[in-house]
Amino acid sequence: MASPRFRWLVLVASDTLPKMILMTVFSLQFESGEAGESHGRPQLGLCGVVAGAGCQREAPPEMSTEGDQQDARWRGSHGIGVVSIHHVGLLCENLERSLEFYQKLLGLEINEARPHEKLPYRGAWLWVGSEMIHLMELPNPDPLTGRPEHGGRDRHACIAIKDVSKLKVIFDDAGIQYTLSRSGRPAIFARDPDANALEFTQVD
> Where residue 172 sits, what CATH number does that domain have?
3.10.180.10
Contact (Cβ atoms closer than 8 angstroms) between residue 162 and residue 202: yes
Per-residue pLDDT, 117: 76
128 and 149 inside one domain? no
71 and 9 inside one domain? yes
Dihedral sign (CA 170, 174, 175, 176): negative
Contact (Cβ atoms closer than 8 angstroms) between residue 108 and residue 100: no
Tell me the residue range of the domain where 92 lies: 84-141
Per-residue pLDDT, 38: 41
66 and 31 inside one domain? yes
Sort strands 156-161 and 197-202 into parallel, antiparallel or unpaired: parallel
Per-residue pLDDT, 166: 97
pLDDT along the chain (204 residues), means of 10: 44 41 36 41 36 40 60 68 93 97 97 86 96 96 88 95 97 97 94 96 95
Per-residue pLDDT, 116: 72
Per-residue pLDDT, 79: 84
Per-residue pLDDT, 71: 63
Per-residue pLDDT, 40: 42
- Other C-beta atoms closer than 10 Å to the C-beta of 3 total 10
CA–CA separation, 63 and 56 (whole Å): 18
Per-residue pLDDT, 70: 62
Task: Report which residue type is found at 17.
Answer: L
**Helix spans in 56-185 (H):** 66-75, 95-99, 164-174
Question: Pick from 45, 49, 44: which is nearest to 12 by CA?
Answer: 49
176 and 134 inside one domain? no
Asked which of 113, 141, 169 is the last residue of a domain, the reply is 141
Exposure class string for 66-91: b at 16+ Cβ within 10 A, else e: eeeeeeeeeeeeeeeeeeeeebbebb
How many residues are present in the chain?
204
Total domains in the fold of the chain: 3
Question: Pick from 121, 122, 120, 126: which is nearest to 87 by CA?
Answer: 126
Task: Report which residue type is found at 191.
Answer: R
**Helix spans in 55-121 (H):** 66-75, 95-99
How much is the CA Rg of the chain, to the nearest whole Å?
28
64 and 107 inside one domain? no
Per-residue pLDDT, 107: 97
